[in-house]
Chains A and B, each alone.
Chain A
Amino acid sequence: CQVTPLYGTLPSGGTVRDDTRAIRIEPATTRVGQELRNELIFAFTGGGSAAAEDRYSLRIVLSEHESAVGVEKLADVPAAYFILVRASFVLTEIATGTTVLSGSSFASASYDFSTQRFANLRAKRDAEDRAVKVISDDIRTRIAAHFATAG
């Protein structure tokens, strides 16, 4: 096996970003889905413009599950909540329609219970964003590693 910088120059001359800039991500229908999509677009383009013509399409299916933890006898309320976000993704090459890479990733974040229920609502929103950032990093690294080795 050989050790190379993931974002170094590839034998083909470019870097993995030349491929990731050409990934189109399906529009999201939920807030959490859009948060993940925005993070991935930045990861793929570094903030610059996307490739003139999309060569790949990325489809992601998200699911979220919340569970209460630290419920004590006669306490009626939990100590904290876990947010678990699961994402399965499929990267396909538009020209041939073949699946380039697929997989599933997950991440979870927790927030502490407060007697103020509005604070819990906002803390849950923040926990969702945090879990989505971890998933974005994971998917981005997998795709980059794929282009770095497939190249």
Chain B
Amino acid sequence: CGRRGSLEPPADAASRRDPAVPMVKNEKGREVPDRPFFLDPLL
């Protein structure tokens, strides 16, 4: 029998992250890079 659960981040996620960008948890509890976005001034 198999088992179906929630997916993990990609295995190489840690290495592909840019260390300079801090990580923040979003409302679903997932780690998200806090990098600037050109529309940020609107918020």
Interface residues of A (CB under 8 A from B): 29-30
Contacts and interface: CB of A to CB of B under 8 A. Distances in A.
B40 interface: no
A29 B28 CA distance: 10
3 contacts: A29-B26, A29-B27, A30-B27
Nearest to B27: A29
Nearest to A30: B27
Contacts of A30: 27
A33 to B, nearest CB: 9
Main secondary structure of the interface of A (DSSP, over half): loop
Interface string B24-41: 001100000000000000
A30 B26 CA distance: 12
Contacts of A29: 26-27
Contacts of B27: 29-30
Contacts of B26: 29
Nearest to B28: A29
A5 B22 CA distance: 50
Interface string B1-39: 000000000000000000000000011000000000000
Q: Which 3 A-B pairs have the closest CB atoms?
A: A29-B27, A30-B27, A29-B26
B24 to A, nearest CB: 12
A29 B26 CA distance: 9
B40 to A, nearest CB: 15
A64 to B, nearest CB: 15
Nearest to B26: A29
A41 to B, nearest CB: 16
A30 B27 CA distance: 9
A23 B26 CA distance: 24
